[in-house]
């Protein structure tokens, strides 16, 4: 049985509307664990948890999907243990959709790695040798039971020569075939990843090759890896419109508000990043007027909400002065409230963008947002 012929019974993308003034899209994805409205920003729970938040708080914020990390869960506690616990949804007490990355980004980000045709070798936290191959990545993700699995690929660094990129994407295509061969559960959708560095011709080649596999969705990888915002925008503007219109489009690892507006304008449906949660734990909060450092002395007597236009639990009940006090006192509640706020702010951005797309006014929404948003 070719699992691709069965997956559509469990996973479906519906494109509702494309803004008539640009490429921005609104739609929804149906999965075995619920519907995801797009465009969507996915908070990252690397180890099967959003740091500082309980799953019920994410539900209260209407978060429809979160991301977890295949590589880290493979190391601890191990995917076999999670499978015995009933899968990642049951293990972590989250009954909504989950996307798992493949571990391919760790090939890029971890220092001591060795890439071969077989896969990638790592040194684990205790110095042990860890081998990650396309087959192992898919096996681990199937043990986890995520709704969306990512194919194992190499995240191409920046800068990279054309020859390096040419060889890398050829190997990524071979690895993709091995991922497809290892994929056996039609209740899990496998997404292919488009690489190609900053070179238009290799992005186009990669799209043509990856889409030949007729997968449920596709992602743009290898951006936000040090290439800078101009190169990122160039890659997304070139690549996204070439991707299938009837499948979800996902840009991996992009998370500054201004970058989200850029990728949404170019027809991207999904994105993720650690930025809102990581920044929150460090005391940086996002508002419609830009980022604020809550520990700054200016907020000691500031009795306004972090973002007055948000009517969530944090902004209805707490002031900037109180949250500053929590950070100054090293109270963990400060990180909890800050994280909830940032996730709520990103959710609000996506909701407002979706509403604007459905009314053919996304460009107006983007211009209005950026007009008031102070960028560093």
Q: Please tell me the pTM assigned to this model.
A: 0.97
Residue ranges in the chain whose pLDDT is less than 70:
107-108, 110-113
CB-neighbour burial class of residue 2 (10 A; exposed 0-12, middle 13-18, buried 19+)? exposed
**Backbone CA torsion sign across 105, 110, 115, 120:** negative
CA distance 116 to 128: 18
Q: Residue 126: what pLDDT?
A: 76
Q: Residue 110: what pLDDT?
A: 65
Choose the CATH number for 14-273 among 3.10.310.10, 3.40.50.300, 3.90.190.20, 3.20.20.105: 3.20.20.105
Catalytic residue among 19, 101, 147, 259: 101
Give per-residue pLDDT as tens, 79-96.
Answer: 999 999 999 999 999 999
* Tokens representing residue 100 in the block: 């798992």
Q: Is 272 a catalytic residue?
A: yes
Question: β-pairing, 270-273 with 40-43?
Answer: parallel
Assign 3-class secondary structure to 266-324: CCCCEEEECHHHHHHHCCEEEECCEEEECCCHHHCCCCCCCCCCCCCHHHHHCCHHHHH
CA distance 160 to 165: 7
In the chain, the largest separation of any two C-alpha atoms, in whole Å, equals 65
Q: Where are the domains of the chain?
A: 14-273, 274-370
CA distance 47 to 50: 8
For 319, phi then psi, to 5°, come to -105, 165
Extract the annotated binding site.
101-105, 153, 195, 222
Q: Residue 112: what pLDDT?
A: 52
* Listed residue (67, 108, 104) closest to 88, CA to CA: 67
Containing H/E element for 254? none
What's the full length of the chain, in residues? 376
Q: Is 371 a catalytic residue?
A: no
Extract the annotated binding site for substrate.
101-105, 153, 195, 222
Catalytic residue among 19, 259, 269, 272: 272
Burial 163-172, CB ≥16 within 10 A → b, else e: eebbebbeeb
Question: β-pairing, 249-251 with 270-273?
Answer: parallel
């Amino acid at each position: 049985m070719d699992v691709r012929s069965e997956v559509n019974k469990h996973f479906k993308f519906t494109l509702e509307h494309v803004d008539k003034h640009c490429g921005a899209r609104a739609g929804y994805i149906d999965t075995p664990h619920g519907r995801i409205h797009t465009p969507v920003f996915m908070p990252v729970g690397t180890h099967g948890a959003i740091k500082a938040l309980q799953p019920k708080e994410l539900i209260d914020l209407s978060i429809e999907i979160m991301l977890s990390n295949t590589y880290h869960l493979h190391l601890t506690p191990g995917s076999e243990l999670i499978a015995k616990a009933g899968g990642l949804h049951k293990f972590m007490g989250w009954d909504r959709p989950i996307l798992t990355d493949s571990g391919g980004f760790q090939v890029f980000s971890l220092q001591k790695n060795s890439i071969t045709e077989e896969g990638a070798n790592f040194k684990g936290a205790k110095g042990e040798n860890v081998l990650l191959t396309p087959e192992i990545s898919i096996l681990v993700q199937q043990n986890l039971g995520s709704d969306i699995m990512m194919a194992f690929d190499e995240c191409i660094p920046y800068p990279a020569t054309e020859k390096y990129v040419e060889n890398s994407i050829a190997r990524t295509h071979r690895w993709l075939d091995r991922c497809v061969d290892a994929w056996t559960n039609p209740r899990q959708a496998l997404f292919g990843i488009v690489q190609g560095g900053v070179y238009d011709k290799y992005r186009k080649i990669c799209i043509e090759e990856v889409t030949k596999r007729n997968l449920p969705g596709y992602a743009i990888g290898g951006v936000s890896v040090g290439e800078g915002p101009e190169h990122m925008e160039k890659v997304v503007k070139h690549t996204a419109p070439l991707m299938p219109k009837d499948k979800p489009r996902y840009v991996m690892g992009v998370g500054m508000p201004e970058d989200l507006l850029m990728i949404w304008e170019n027809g991207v449906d999904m994105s993720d990043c650690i930025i809102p949660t990581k920044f929150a734990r460090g005391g940086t909060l996002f508002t419609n007027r830009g980022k604020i450092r809550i520990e700054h002395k200016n907020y000691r007597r500031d009795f306004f909400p972090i973002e007055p236009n948000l009517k969530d639990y944090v902004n209805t009940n707490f002031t900037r002065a109180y949250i500053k006090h929590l950070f100054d006192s090293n109270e963990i509640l400060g990180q909890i409230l800050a994280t909830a706020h940032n996730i709520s702010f990103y959710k609000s951005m996506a909701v407002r963008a979706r509403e604007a797309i459905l009314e053919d006014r996304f460009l107006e929404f983007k211009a209005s947002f950026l007009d008031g948003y102070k960028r560093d």
